[in-house]
Amino acid sequence: MRLDQGALWFIFLTNWSYTILNIHFILGALNTKLTTLPQNSRMFILACKVSWVVFNIAANVAPLVTFMYWGFNYVPGQYVDSSNINAHALNCVLMFADVMLSNLPVRVLHVIYALVCGFAYVTFTVIYWAAGGVNHEGNSYIYSALDYTGSPGMAATMAVLFVLLAQPLSHLLLYGLYCFRDWLVKRSTRAIE
């Protein structure tokens, strides 16, 4: 995540993920303030629902960004600065910590929110490419795996795999982490009794 990218900052999935992550944490902070409202008030219920949707998106996209960057984009031996660590590793650590420390439930069917976000990003990349957009190096693609001009078949395959395979797998990881947290809580409360 580099702020010196100017308007190109918005084209990268890393930055979408980071923005959603920050929105999630801001909403979480605001929701703690809303606990002064009656729990059956419309405002409180709406705030909790919005926060839950944003949580599901952030918690799904963060591990994908981390995995895709370190697995496909990072060149071994390349210099890694704190901004890079923050955007491509810390995001995942923060979300895993949030899942383990918060009491937010994870539901399998909430994968739909991640799918919508993934589809929105892939759609954006296609529109950006069709409009003649370029990345920070002047290439006609945002990521080389999504080179719709040079390798349209590969790009389409990667886009479909991202939405229909990677997003659900990320959500299953999230659900597994949630189940593990739930098991730990039940085990620790039994030990206390």
The answer to whether residue 32 scores a pLDDT higher than 90 is no
Give the separation between CA 77 and CA 75, rounded to whole angstroms: 6
Quote the Cα angle for 104-108-111, to 5°: 90
- Can you give the pTM of this predicted structure? 0.88
Which percentage of the chain shows pLDDT scores above 90? 74
Element (H, E) at 128: helix 111-130
77 three-state secondary structure: coil
The answer to whether residue 4 scores a pLDDT higher than 80 is no
Contact between residue 51 and residue 31 where contact means Cβ atoms under 8 Å apart = yes
pLDDT, the chain, mean: 92
The answer to whether residue 2 scores a pLDDT higher than 60 is no
- Tell me the chain's radius of gyration from C-alpha atoms: 19
Give the separation between CA 93 and CA 95, rounded to whole angstroms: 6
Split at pLDDT 50, 70, 90, the class of 193 is low
The answer to whether residue 3 scores a pLDDT higher than 80 is no
Give the separation between CA 160 and CA 55, rounded to whole angstroms: 23
pLDDT value for 108: 96
